[in-house]
Amino acid sequence: MKRKNSDITDPADLFKHQQGTGATRRFHPVYKDYLPPCNNACPAGENIQAWLALAQNGHYYQAWQVLMADNPMPAIHGRVCYHPCETACNRDQLDGAVSVHSVERFLGDMALKENWQIEKSKTSSGKKVLIVGAGPSGLSAAYHLAKMGHQVVIYEAGPVAGGMMRFGIPAYRLPRYELNQEIHRIESLGVEIVLNRKVENLLEDKQQGDFDAVFIAIGAHLSKRIDIPAREAAKILDAVSFLHNTASGNAPQVGRKVAIYGGGNTAMDAARTAKRLGAEEAIIIYRRDRDHMPAHDFEADEALSEGVKINWLRTIKQMDETSITVEKMALDRDGRPQPTGEYETLQADSLIMAVGQDTDSRFLQAVEEINFKKDGTVIINDNMMTGAEGIFAGGDMVPSERTVTTAVGHGKKAARYIDAWLRGENYQPPEKHDLIEYEKLHLWYLTEADQKEQQALSSEQRQENFSEIVSGLSAEDAQFEAQRCFSCGNCYECDGCYGSCPENAVLKLGPGKRYRYNYDLCTGCAVCFEQCPCHAIEMVAESADQTNGELS
């Protein structure tokens, strides 16, 4: 049945059904900016589309500067981020997402090679901020606060900075050179990192150090415990300690056959690390199936390719010196595992527990105004402040997704709220533009261009040592990959509107300034709208505000 015009509410949709030009023009074009899905999905709040646009033209230093405005550790993120931006990428619906993480890694590595630096703040606020924890969230907050002109001191309980980036992520995924260099660059802004300095009494440390504000970012370093009946000789380790000790050069003896209990990314890392330490067999035991595992799919693929075995739908009942008894599970209608009463025995010299981590927030319980959830995470308000005035918190120790990128995003957000609070102001995040979807793009001009792959070690080579598995892109491939970006929802001055307008109603304003419309000449024919590949032009009803025909 044909729709009536009165049934159509979207002006652009209405335009397709009721056109009018010239003296009877009912619609006119306006330039508009939309929110690209990659930017929207990034937990660190990167302006991905902006730095990709610079990289695709070979302006790598400028691209790195835009990237560093949001994320101080691109060489790290290009390696360890799970890149939700790529999952959201509109191009994934055509021939594969833009490999954002590989271009980010390229820029991060080039910055280290060329020794690019971020300029220090030329003015001092006179304010002093204490950060507890030198993990990704604490380092990120320190970086942004230092750029804002604040004096920043980090108290780190461990002997070296980096947190779980250093002790929870194996070197084959994150080489220590890149980690150390990006931490050093943050220190070069004047950030002081005090190592082996555990905070026991927060209020006392705040007062004695004359700190105006505090950001707590201690992470989640305590392995959750599950009681498993075991004989005294059974060797049970926790995954966090196992990875920490291995990274510190004190790898424990795990034996020929190792079992790992859990289905997350930490379990995959523990199994792959055990193989590198000489275990002939590493078996992951997980109580649900692959579709319900918390680990990212590619993590499981990589583990399997390295010879790790995964026993799905199994739960451990008991363990002795040489074997583990497991019960088979079956999923119910809700996808939850239920016991079947069937058992089997697996041979194992040791068991690594990888069932999650908790945060050690006990030292904060002396601060009466701070409240906690049952799992020990700290409750914060919308400004990332705890119940105690001037004490903020972020990263793994607050309820959130536990990834490096999320933690870095928390650090940036906290810095903005802390900065505003120190100045007696309230930070208001800018309003987001509307999200642009794949269906709105006009990709008439496009030919398919497959994603550039990064070279990787073979599965046999990987098991020999902790060398980095994936190598980065060349400059040529990185530029090509950046050029695959659609620039969804934002004008990139392709001149499509300018060249297609039959009335010469589109005016060029110069490089970087985009265009504007001369509505005295525009007939509302919508050729420019149809030609715009990234949907940076919208057709609106004549009654709508014309905004002078310029892009904001």
CATH number of the structural domain spanning residue 27 = 3.30.70.20
**384, part of any domain:** yes
DSSP-derived pairing of the beta strands 236-238 and 350-353: parallel
Considering the domain boundaries, does residue 162 fall inside one?
yes
Q: Transcribe 182-245 into DSSP letters.
A: HHHHHHTTT-EEE-S---S-HHHHHHHTT-SEEEE-----EEP-----B-TT--EEEHHHHHHH
Q: Which among 406, 422, 438 is the end of a domain? A: 422
Do 346 and 235 have their domain in common? Answer: yes
Give strand ranges (E) for 158-253: 192-194, 213-216, 222-223, 236-238
In a domain, 82, yes or no: no
* Alpha carbon of residue 143 to chain centroid: 17
CATH number, domain of 349, equals 3.50.50.60
* Residue 152 CB contacts under 8 Å (≥ 6 apart), including other chains: 128, 129, 131, 142, 145, 146, 190, 191, 192
Please give the average pLDDT of every successive group of 10 residues along the chain, which has 552 residues: 42 49 78 96 96 96 97 97 96 94 98 94 94 96 98 96 93 95 97 96 95 93 77 81 91 93 94 94 95 91 94 93 92 90 94 86 87 87 94 87 92 97 93 94 83 89 88 95 96 94 95 93 93 94 59 38
Q: Look at residue 487 in the predicted model and tell me its pLDDT.
A: 95
Number of Cβ within 10 Å of residue 475's Cβ equals 13
Are 229 and 319 found together in one domain?
yes
- Looking at 376-486, list the stretches that DSSP marks H as alpha helix, in order from N- to C-terminal side: 404-422, 459-462, 475-483
The position carrying tokens 């994603």 is 451
CA distances from 296 to 78, 299, 303 (A): 16, 5, 11
Give the integer Cα–Cα distance in Å for 267 and 269: 5
CA distance 389 to 395: 19
Given 302, 330, 355, the domain boundary residue is: 355
d(CA 100, CA 25): 42
Could you tell me if 264 and 193 lie in one domain?
no
φ/ψ of 475, rounded to 5, equals -60, -40
Residues 484-518: tens digit of each pLDDT: 999 999 999 999 999 999 999 999 999 989 999 99
Domain match, 239 and 343 both: yes
Residue 46 near residue 96, CB atoms below 8 Å: no
Residue 463 lies in a domain: no
- Total domain count for the chain? 3
- DSSP-derived letter for residue 95 is T
Same domain, 245 and 331: yes
Residue 99 in any domain: the answer is no
Regarding whether 374 and 336 lie in a shared domain, the answer is: no
In a domain, 465, yes or no: no
pLDDT at res. 140: 98
Calpha distance 301→284 (Å, rounded): 13
- Both 364 and 217 in one domain: the answer is yes
Residue 437 lies in a domain: no
Domain, as residue range, for 385: 128-222+358-422
Domain end residue (candidates: 306, 335, 355): 355
> Could you tell me if 414 and 498 lie in one domain?
no
**Which residues does 57 contact at the CB level (< 8 Å), separation at least 6?**
none
231 and 336 in a single domain? The answer is yes
- C-alpha R_g of the chain: 27
Backbone angles phi, psi at 537, to 5 degrees: -125, 135
What is the reported pLDDT for 233? Answer: 64
d(CA 330, CA 482) in angstroms, rounded, equals 45
What is the Cα 241 distance to its own chain's centre?
24
Identify whether 115 is part of a domain: no
Residue 390 and residue 506 in one domain: no
Q: How far is CA 199 from CA 144, 191, 316, 399, in A?
A: 23, 18, 37, 22
Report helix angle 265-276 to 239-247, nearest 10: 50
Q: At what angle do helices 100-114 and 475-483 cross, to 10 degrees?
A: 140
pTM: 0.89
Both 247 and 293 in one domain: the answer is yes
Report the distance separating Cα 378 and Cα 387, nearest Å: 9
Task: Tell me: do 528 and 497 sit in the same domain.
Answer: yes
Residue with tokens 């709040």: 45
